[in-house]
Structure 1
Amino acid sequence: MELRNIAIIAHVDHGKTTLVDELLKQSGVYRAGQAVTERAMDSNDIERERGITILAKATSVEWKGGRINIVDTPGHADFGGEVERILSMVDGVCLLVDAAEGPMPQTKFVTAKALALGLRPIVVLNKVDKPAAEPDRALNEVFDLFANLGADDDQLDFPVLYASGINGWADAELDGPRQDMSALFDLIVQHVPAPAQIARRDEPFRMLATTLSADPFLGRILTGRVESGVCRVGETLKALSRTGERLEQFRVSKILAFRGLAHSAIEVAEAGDIVTLAGMAKATVADTLCATEVDVPLPAQPIDPPTISVTFGINDSPLAGRDGSKVQSRVIRERLLREAELNVAIRVEDTPGGESFVVSGRGELQMGVLIENMRREGFELSISRPRVILREEGGQVLEPIEEATIDVDDEYTGAVIEKLTGPRKGELVEMKPAGVGKTRIVAHVPSRGLIGYHGEFLTDTRGSGVLNRVFHDWAPHKGPIQGRRQGVLISMENGVSVAYALWNLEERGRMFIGAQEQIYEGMIIGEHSRENDLEVNPLKGKKLTNVRASGTDEAVRLTPPVIMSLEQAIAYIDDDELVEVTPKSIRLRKRYLDPHERKRNAKARVQ
């Protein structure tokens, strides 16, 4: 049976998972009458809610007697740890580009990794039937992107298909028959080479572990492509670390392969196929699983280092333990270490006191997804403001720089450029038209400058702007960057908020809470209209008298409070503030709940 291994890469919301759905349907994966789930590859709840792919997943389809293993890769750079590992398992990539938007930052990030590995791309211009589609412009931008990323002549000579994933067709010509996906299937078989590993079937067994997961029945399981040889259930293998150190010897208890959407048990794993092995106890990602006579590990793809860190601590507020069941630091530590073991892009370090843990990762979205998963599991946490990780080279302090690609209406370009290049220390790289009445701005901005900027950006562009960011490079430290300008309104009492008190406080700033909400001393209930913090009493009720007069009995009409998402809250807080996360609530509070300590800290910050 002919075998092909291909990864599909695309920017967030360019239609990648929808395209895979159509490939599954048209290849006969689903039996007649079977209920078909939309976005079948997005199996995670958060993936479905947010419409993004977080975990790399594989599937396989059969086409004209052959089998095609398809890998659906994450579309966001924060989950790049998944991307780097998964690309080492495939022999070609299908680059999916929105015909209206063209290649975007996450496309550039993943494509650079694929081209560096020597993979030859297939370009699919998706959504060409949309009114705003400009396939010719998008194709020229893809070619320019490949050239800028150092693609060789073979990679620049890429085939192109025009498609509509949601309508289930792909054609070699823009005005083709628009019937089905057969043109894409045939192109994959013709353009993507068969795995070179098939020729090494007679050599000793070797496999590089690229993804790690856990199964409640099988325990630790590792997925990767078989580089050489054959493995059968019951055989004894050993695991070698990246440096060649022998980690363990184990017996293969199960071999699983991707057959459609199912993970099916097979008896033999052959060179070139993507399989999952069970039975090991210590082996992890980037380790080599091999026959006992092999002593040299396979080369592993290096993974970009984390760029931000966040401190996870126990929830020590007066409302702690009311919503969640997992509140102890020991339980939080075990969960974080388990996450770091499964996700190599995350690192966990203990703090000296042992009550909190520094978690380092690739971006705010990755941290937000981890925290959201933990709160759904019943954890209560306190989260600090993200801090950028600096490094030193040759006596010079370097900081991470991100490439921000922004699409805005023409009338808002001035405000956006002023914010990025002024207080946030960014550098304007490119500015060009991006359709009728739209401008695309590309700027290199320190990661510190983009923390907390997204909400301000949406305000400046009246909600019409689109901001995408991706790690660009390390650069010399650009000096201090001003944080949030406004102060906050802090509760000075414990109890339940009163509508009359909040109504009177509205002139002081915008509120984060509504009436009849549980609050405590030191909790942040709103944003002050000035730069200083202000302690207020949201429990103060109206004094009652038996005198009736015109104008004194006005109805209380509260402005709806600002409800922040988890990522917005984490980006909003200052260095002396925390986000209190529980399964039911997201609250902001001062790091120091004691009023005297809070005032001393505020004075020190002003000085």
Structure 2
Amino acid sequence: MPPGHFGVPLRADGNRLQAESVMDIRNIAIIAHVDHGKTTLVDRILHTTKVFRDNQETGELIMDSNDLERERGITIFSKNAAVTYKDVKINVIDTPGHADFGGEVERVLKMADGVILLVDAFEGPMPQTRFVLQKALQLNLKPIVVINKVDKPNCRPDEVHDAVFELFFNLDASEEQLNFPTYYGSGKNGWFNDSLTPVEDITPLMDGILKYVPEPKVTEGTLQMQITSLDYSSFLGRIAVGKVTRGSIKENQPIALMQADGTVKKQRVKELYVFEGMGKRKVTEVMAGDLCAVVGLEGFNIGDTISDQENMEALPVISVDEPTMNMLFSINNSPFYGKDGKFVTSRHLRDRLMKETEKNLALRVFDTDSGDSFQVYGRGILHLGVLIETMRREGYELTVGQPQVIVKHIDGKRHEPYENLVVDVPQEFASKVIDLVTRRKGEMLVMETKGEMQHLEFEIPSRGLIGLRTQMLTATTGEAVMNHRFTEYKGWKGSIPGRNNGVLISKNTEKTTGYSIDKLQDRGTFFVDPGEDIYAGQIVAENIKPGDLVVNVTEGKKLTNHRASGSDDATRIAPKTLMTLEECMEYIQHDECIEVTPNFIRMRKIYLDENERNRFQKMLKADVEA
């Protein structure tokens, strides 16, 4: 069984089913920007507290157990581990660093009493750092600042410390929160200390957690526990995870499940688990202040309160920031429908999306006029892209449309979401970045020099970010580091230029040939290789000019009895351009969509037939003129 599976007997002593003592617990969340070393720090904590045997193979990124997380090198789902240090149980909550997964962060912070804010010693606080820290400070959590990667060249720990203090001040931190302890070190090299002097391990930081993170605040009274996370076991079904804030919860106890809409369901707890190491162990009772997993409840959602049946009191519902982007998810209706995936019907698609909304708080799914399509609302392209990629790996076939921002009408005027965009780029490329962003209605707020890099901050409509990353990486030869976070809704900025060039569209449904692609190479950059199955209406290349062109890429070479000198030279074909799912989502226009199957990602026109496409364009033009 994998680590963390329910029912794994992680302790075999006689006290196995005893309740936890409230005084010996610390609940701490680790928050940081993407790639600042958060998961590596969690690895160090797990190794320092001897969660694993000395001879046990663990590898790295232990908490990032999901395949997608390991491939992308980011944390997507928040996870829990529990370690024991100096007879104190420390519940460690690893949180995502990307603002698109803010829904995950906002709910799991409810389980913590303190936070470790991890900051890169060169980059300093980034937009997502600000986003998550703001949530933590609003919940009045006690912060510990850890400045990581002090072994890197160009690092500037003292400046970063000042920048963190300034960030706390700007976020209206209390006097106590402003007086935060700071630790320096290198997660990669395995040391953290309260000064810049290297030590052998991370024990100074572990001592700091015991010293500065308060014990859980417990109020007297009957049971109260908010469900802040979900787990699933094929043996036990859906499992509610949360922190007991008052009283205690016992095995076999009758409870009241109080839901956000005011309904109350009377149920009974079947089994209780607490976190231990990377897994869980079964207990008979959990006291206030500890995190636990409750088995046996039905029909619960994140944010519901588990309360005593005699004294029913609900906790405030978890509020999550609204989605800012939406996409149309439809069944796959291409000629290659059903060839690749296991789940292809609209019922499969609907059930899977509804199941996702149960645990993905920032996601919304709505039915449309068509029974085959669903409107899906999310936090951003990465948030929706991870959902599509997960479904693809599970065997689903679907078609997704162009991402659209959510427009609101406030006081009779059109408003759209705006983002704070931060770009760090070598100085010679700064002018190109400024030009790209301002063309997309961005306004520059900050321009300062950090070593050899130029630090730029902009305010830009969310629409302007769609497709910007690809253009920026091309313009800066891959040197730009770009981050953004949602700030607020403001007035509509007018039209933003989209993709400049048109596309080449396949005329036939057949296999591509090297002969045809070779003859068309001067017309565009191809997304397909010779010998690939394609269909009429599929996008096979980017045109070098504006406007779309229908081409035949399936024609074979005519064989004759005569051979002319030089005519049989091997065709020299450039390899196809590989595009990730997110790049495709940013690339397509309003009349295009993406076919997603377990083994293929194809871009195509919504109307595959050329005559239908022309009719649609004429109707659209007439609507615009009207």
Fold shared, TM-score > 0.5 on shorter chain = yes
The letter for the 2-side match of 1:501 is: S
> Which residue is 2:13 aligned to?
none
The letter for the 1-side match of 2:391 is: M
> Which residue is 1:323 aligned to?
340
Greater shift, 553-562 or 537-546, is seen at: 537-546
Q: Is 1:70 matched with 2:92?
A: yes
> Which residue is 2:498 aligned to?
483
**How far, CA to CA, are the matches of 2:318 and 2:449 in structure 1?**
38
Instruction: Choose the corresponding residue for 2:104, options 82, 91, 108.
Output: 82
**Deviation digits for residues 140-174 of structure 1, max 9, x if unmatched?**
11111111111122111111101111221111110
**Deviation digits for residues 227-261 of structure 1, max 9, x if unmatched?**
11111100000111235x23311110111111111
- Tell me if structure 2 keeps the 8 A contact 1:247–1:282: no
The letter for the 1-side match of 2:31 is: I
Q: Is 1:21 matched with 2:48?
A: no
Change (3 A) 1:605 1:532: farther
Q: Residue 25 of structure 1: CA displacement?
A: 0.7
Q: Residue 580 of structure 1: CA displacement?
A: 0.4
Q: Residue 604 of structure 1: CA displacement?
A: 4.9
Q: Is 1:54 matched with 2:72?
A: no
> Which residue is 2:359 aligned to?
342
Greater shift, 304-313 or 33-42, is seen at: 33-42
Give the 5 Å matches for 1:371-386.
371-386=388-403
> Which residue is 2:15 aligned to?
none
**How far, CA to CA, are the matches of 1:477 and 1:309 in structure 2?**
17
Give the 5 Å matches for 1:564-575.
564-575=579-590
**Deviation digits for residues 241-282 of structure 1, max 9, x if unmatched?**
235x23311110111111111121111111000111111111
The letter for the 2-side match of 1:433 is: T
Give the 5 Å matches for 1:495-506.
495-506=510-521
Q: Residue 602 of structure 1: CA displacement?
A: 3.6
Q: List, as ranges, runs of 4+ consecutive aligned residues in structure 1 with deviation greater than 4 Å.
A: 603-607
Aligned-residue CA RMSD (Å): 1.3
**How far, CA to CA, are the matches of 1:504 and 1:101 in structure 2?**
48
Q: Residue 341 of structure 1: CA displacement?
A: 1.2
**How far, CA to CA, are the matches of 1:307 and 1:188 in structure 2?**
36
- Tell me if structure 2 keeps the 8 A contact 1:254–1:278: yes
Q: Is 1:461 matched with 2:482?
A: no
**How far, CA to CA, are the matches of 1:347 and 1:325 in structure 2?**
24
Give the 5 Å matches for 1:222-233.
222-233=240-251
Give the 5 Å matches for 1:267-282.
267-282=284-299
Instruction: Choose the corresponding residue for 2:209, options 188, 199, 209.
Output: 188
Instruction: Choose the corresponding residue for 2:190, options 135, 157, 168.
Output: 168
> Aligned to 2:409, what secondary structure does the other structure show?
strand
> Which residue is 2:448 aligned to?
432
Q: Residue 214 of structure 1: CA displacement?
A: 2.3
**Deviation digits for residues 434-488 of structure 1, max 9, x if unmatched?**
222x111111111111011111111111111111111111111111112111111
> Which residue is 1:115 aligned to?
137
Give the 5 Å matches for 1:143-162.
143-162=165-184
TM-score relative to the length of structure 1: 0.97
Give the 5 Å matches for 1:357-368.
357-368=374-385
**How far, CA to CA, are the matches of 2:518 and 2:426 in structure 1?**
36
> Which residue is 1:209 aligned to?
227
> Which residue is 1:126 aligned to?
148
**How far, CA to CA, are the matches of 2:54 and 2:569 in structure 1?**
65
Q: Residue 553 of structure 1: CA displacement?
A: 2.8
**How far, CA to CA, are the matches of 1:554 and 1:241 in structure 2?**
72
TM-score relative to the length of structure 2: 0.94
Q: Is 1:419 matched with 2:441?
A: no
Q: Residue 301 of structure 1: CA displacement?
A: 3.1
**How far, CA to CA, are the matches of 2:295 and 2:612 in structure 1?**
53
> Aligned to 1:210, what secondary structure does the other structure show?
strand
> Which residue is 1:511 aligned to?
526
- Tell me if structure 1 keeps the 8 A contact 2:307–2:313: no
Change (3 A) 1:374 1:228: same
Instruction: Choose the corresponding residue for 2:594, options 569, 579, 582.
Output: 579
> Which residue is 2:18 aligned to?
none
- Tell me if structure 1 keeps the 8 A contact 2:224–2:313: no
**How far, CA to CA, are the matches of 2:154 and 2:275 in structure 1?**
37
- Tell me if structure 2 keeps the 8 A contact 1:238–1:247: yes
> Aligned to 2:470, what secondary structure does the other structure show?
helix
The letter for the 1-side match of 2:556 is: G
Gaps of 5+ in 2: 1-22
- Tell me if structure 2 keeps the 8 A contact 1:238–1:246: no
**How far, CA to CA, are the matches of 2:34 and 2:554 in structure 1?**
45
Q: Residue 543 of structure 1: CA displacement?
A: 2.8
Q: Residue 541 of structure 1: CA displacement?
A: 2.3
Q: Is 1:240 matched with 2:258?
A: yes
Q: Residue 303 of structure 1: CA displacement?
A: 0.5
The letter for the 1-side match of 2:202 is: M
Instruction: Choose the corresponding residue for 1:263, options 277, 280, 286.
Output: 280
- Tell me if structure 2 keeps the 8 A contact 1:248–1:283: no
**How far, CA to CA, are the matches of 1:323 and 1:96 in structure 2?**
43
Greater shift, 374-383 or 539-548, is seen at: 539-548
Greater shift, 25-34 or 578-587, is seen at: 25-34
Q: Is 1:521 matched with 2:536?
A: yes
- Tell me if structure 2 keeps the 8 A contact 1:212–1:342: yes
> Which residue is 2:8 aligned to?
none
**How far, CA to CA, are the matches of 1:512 and 1:429 in structure 2?**
38
**How far, CA to CA, are the matches of 2:282 and 2:447 in structure 1?**
53
Greater shift, 28-37 or 350-359, is seen at: 28-37
The letter for the 1-side match of 2:54 is: A
> Aligned to 2:188, what secondary structure does the other structure show?
helix
Q: Residue 409 of structure 1: CA displacement?
A: 1.1
> Which residue is 1:99 aligned to?
121
Greater shift, 393-402 or 503-512, is seen at: 393-402
Percent of residue pairs identical: 47
The letter for the 2-side match of 1:54 is: I
- Tell me if structure 2 keeps the 8 A contact 1:499–1:558: yes
- Tell me if structure 1 keeps the 8 A contact 2:256–2:312: no
The letter for the 2-side match of 1:513 is: V
**How far, CA to CA, are the matches of 1:605 and 1:242 in structure 2?**
43
**How far, CA to CA, are the matches of 2:466 and 2:30 in structure 1?**
30
**How far, CA to CA, are the matches of 2:489 and 2:34 in structure 1?**
25
Give the 5 Å matches for 1:379-394.
379-394=396-411
**How far, CA to CA, are the matches of 2:554 and 2:486 in structure 1?**
46
Aligned residues: 600
**Deviation digits for residues 76-95 of structure 1, max 9, x if unmatched?**
11110010001111111100
